[in-house]
Amino acid sequence: MSSDGDGEKEGSTVEEGSTVGYVSEEEEEESESEDENRPLSPEEILKGIHKSWVILGLVMGPIVVLGAIWSPAVLSSAGKDSICRDDQDGNPSYANGLSCTGKSVWDEKLWIKTGCESNCRTEANSYGVREREHLSTPACQASLSEFKNLTGYTCNCTSDYAYLPGGVRPGVVLVIAEVVAYIIMAAIIPIMGSVVDHTDWRKSFWNLCKWGVFLSTAGMAMLGENYIWVGGLSFSIFGGIFYEGVYVASSAYLPEITKHSAEAARLGGGRQLYSFGAQLCTFVIAALLINAIGDDDDSEEDLVAIILTLIVALWALCTMPLSYSRMPERKAKKPLIEGKTLTGSAFSDLWRDLQNLKKKYPEAHKYIWFRIFSSLGIGTMIGLSTTFFVEALDLTQSEIATIAGVVLICGMPVAGIIGTLAKKFPMKKLLGAVVAYWIVLGFAPLLLTKKEMFVEAIVVGALCGMGFAAYYSLEFAAFSKLIPPNAEAQYAGFFAATGYILRWISPVVYLVISQTTNDHKWALFHLVAYTIVGAIVFFFIDFEKGRAEAGRKGDGEVDVEMRSVDVVPVSEENESAVVSE
């Protein structure tokens, strides 16, 4: 605006005191306050809920990496508490009753120099994949005697001759803990699902599991010889239970916040992406700790694991509220059957849901059996792989941490694009390709035939990272296509529970093979059998027929009216009213 020759600059007001084009600070603050308090649109509310659901991957991701650092420390501590005795074939150790020799005092150069390497080993066993010591030959006895005099050697803590009291091999203690955890989960996860379904405590239960995850993870910091490690191992069992409890609670929300399988896949991929990002950050922290402290000595390995365990525990405690801050406390979905407790309803619901699927939605029923078998194969691979790397390949803590980093780096892009792929390809073809990929990958243990095959293990880790990201992003999204949209919440807990009903079987078989033969390669290889059975079941699932049975028109379209989101301001008082049916 120009002046009339009175010397005012262009852009000034016409009259003194005029407020044209001017907003006072008070008005600006009032406008901002009104904007903050305005009712959120349905899209904004739903976007916030989606973000909370996805961010759980960021919260829980570091726990996955922790296993790669913590597990070698547990196995090392268990090994130091082992004693020498005759092996499974009755071959003498010549050091019965004495403590085994740990890797921290092992002298590989002297072992070779005294002739033990050449005189006390055969090239391979009858399977051609595992070296074994034979100590009874005269040449070996002479070399071994010299080596013992120089070092005080008894028997190697990872050899066929080292056992914990009771005859348990130190290399299987993690597998035993996993078996116990899975058996407990098979019994307790249906009860968790019952709490989610039959009470108004879904969000409160999530918060309770937060404290369980924190305390159990912190307890895993109990590491060290003289059986201190048993305490940490016991806490890890409870940690796994609470960890799954969090996912039972969160999975029950997914069917309520999306009705499109492609969007569900996108959210699953987003959670995986967040998880991989958090895991990568944890990996960097672990690498810095290893670089600063070292991992050549057992005590250094323990210290790295203890510090990282406490960091991860605090991370879970502080960030968990972000994952449920926008989630509403939901009303009970199903009333308790009169005269039944939550426990009784849990297992009766499980059986009823299975029968309903078989009768009303047979394709979804087939998918459940596919999921059970794939969980036995793909699902247990993560937990058993660390034991395999330590016992079969003799990899160090830093090497296993490096493999974990490679898994994350290779998995992140797959998790990021899986939602896009789900829009372009039919779910059966996409998930079927992932399952076929895992069958091929299941033969990898047979290719890792020698100790310290670090580079080869990195390649396998990279391939596994891509496979894990793809499989877990699609697993529930595919199931949701085969059930009615108004029944998704009902079957979310059921779906989570079925993954653990029989999941203990494959670790038990792994335990039997490794305990009796001390051969972890064949123990891990047997997992591919479950994946193959699951693939056969998956082949016979008709997704088109399943969608028709579930009343779905097509991918993401339904025959019933979708639930809506009420337009209400988000506050502590009305948070529970954000999402309504």
Q: State pLDDT tens for residues 362-416.
A: 998 999 999 999 999 998 888 888 889 988 888 888 888 888 888 878 887 887 7
Lowest mean pLDDT among 56-65, 171-180, 210-219, 538-547: 56-65
SS3 130: coil
Tell whether 62 and 89 lie within a shared domain.
no
Tell whether 440 and 497 lie within a shared domain.
yes
How far is 99 from 147, CA to CA, in rounded Å?
16
Q: Provide φ and ψ at 425, rounded to 5°.
A: -125, 145
Tell whether 245 and 149 lie within a shared domain.
no
Query: If you average pLDDT over residues 86-115, what whole number do you get?
Result: 81
Question: Percent of the chain at pLDDT above 90?
Answer: 23
How far is 398 from 400, CA to CA, in rounded Å?
5
Q: Long-range contacts: 224-227, Cβ < 8 Å, 24+?
A: 224/77, 224/302, 225/77, 225/80, 225/81, 225/298, 226/81, 227/81
Confidence of residue 572 (pLDDT cuts 50, 70, 90): very low
Tell whether 325 and 189 lie within a shared domain.
yes
Confidence of residue 21 (pLDDT cuts 50, 70, 90): very low
Is the pLDDT assigned to residue 100 strictly greater than 60?
Answer: yes
- What is the value of pTM for the model shown? 0.75
* Boundary-marking domain end, from 114, 134, 163: 163
Neighbours of 264 (CB within 10 A): 26
Is the pLDDT assigned to residue 361 strictly greater than 60?
Answer: yes
Query: If you average pLDDT over residues 523-552, what whole number do you get?
Result: 91
The domain total for the chain is: 2
Tell whether 74 and 86 lie within a shared domain.
no
Tell whether 111 and 225 lie within a shared domain.
no
Tell whether 405 and 448 lie within a shared domain.
yes
pLDDT score at 333: 64
Domain span holding position 142:
82-163
Beta bridge partners of 565: 579
Task: Examine residue 500 and state whether it is found in any structural domain, yes or no.
Answer: yes
Give every CB contact of residue 364 below 8 A, 6+ residues apart in sequence. Answer: 357, 479, 482, 483, 491, 546, 549, 550
* Boundary-marking domain end, from 93, 128, 163: 163
